[in-house]
Structure 1
């Protein structure tokens, strides 16, 4: 058996394999580069990179996509800054839900708006978060989350303080009432109507929504002294 020929054949085959792999990587990098340029948002670019997770880590592909990584990080920085401004905004957001619930949904949406892309990017490219731009991105993300949490807590605290002792009386009111005090004083038959309190209904709706997902707030301590 000629081992020299076998060794030579193996080296040739291995060289051909590596050459083929390199060529395929170059072709794939061109496809990825072209595809990602058609994606115009942070979410769409990250979604595309997720599809090719594991493959895009190859050196040839990393080189082709290096400018896209920088674009992603800069755009995420802009997005975090925009969200921070929105969290500080005092404008009322229109909604059919009670005011406190509406604001909580607003802050939850802002949080998800930055948390989802940051978690995806951190999973795909943890090494890119170690440089100067990555450090800036991590700090801006953390500060923005802290700002949202602070605004949310302040809003909830105001709502908690707005719960007055009069609500205890509202819950103890009768279900039905006379529709006309004048008729009652005149000893004439009076009609009966439901003793409906819109303020109490609004408050009960707020409690209902706040105890449901995505908030799942435990309001026991807040309400135990009110009822």
Structure 2
């Protein structure tokens, strides 16, 4: 579609099956052909999509950023698109682990390891980048769009269509406390605030940018207020 943009497919190992076969998530690296512009930016944007999305559905968002010279790493989360065999879509905790493995993969890639990394997540992807990336200062910026604060409390219980979809796809609606804390940005952020020095906390929190629509019908705006 865009003659001045190149796309290469990547696969990142995220675990093994019961039979010992490697499991991979599949993604794209997207950038301009003009290496001079790309190298002047030295910016890598890691895109994490929402529950019902795939790496392709967010093209409207990341293609304009690639045209500005940013390098884009976008991948299908486990259970979606080309990463269907990596696991189930409903494995949100493992999605966070997968994100951490993507960041570790970047750190070892000669082409990318010295780029400034920004992680951008939408909905469940926003939980992923906050819970999986807040404590990793290798990530220069975290942009969370429509993030829940407390996972268990803010599942859209009063939207029967969404809840039915979650049930049919095996989403865990009643996690235990340990699981809920790992899936709740508010808990992750509060724990960091208590355990880090004030200077380090300020440095970490300044990297985070929260975006939320006041009229969000699925993830209520109060989540934004709680995370702030």
- TM normalised by structure 1 equals 0.24
Bigger fraction of residues in strand: 2
- TM normalised by structure 2 equals 0.24
Bigger fraction of residues in helix: 1
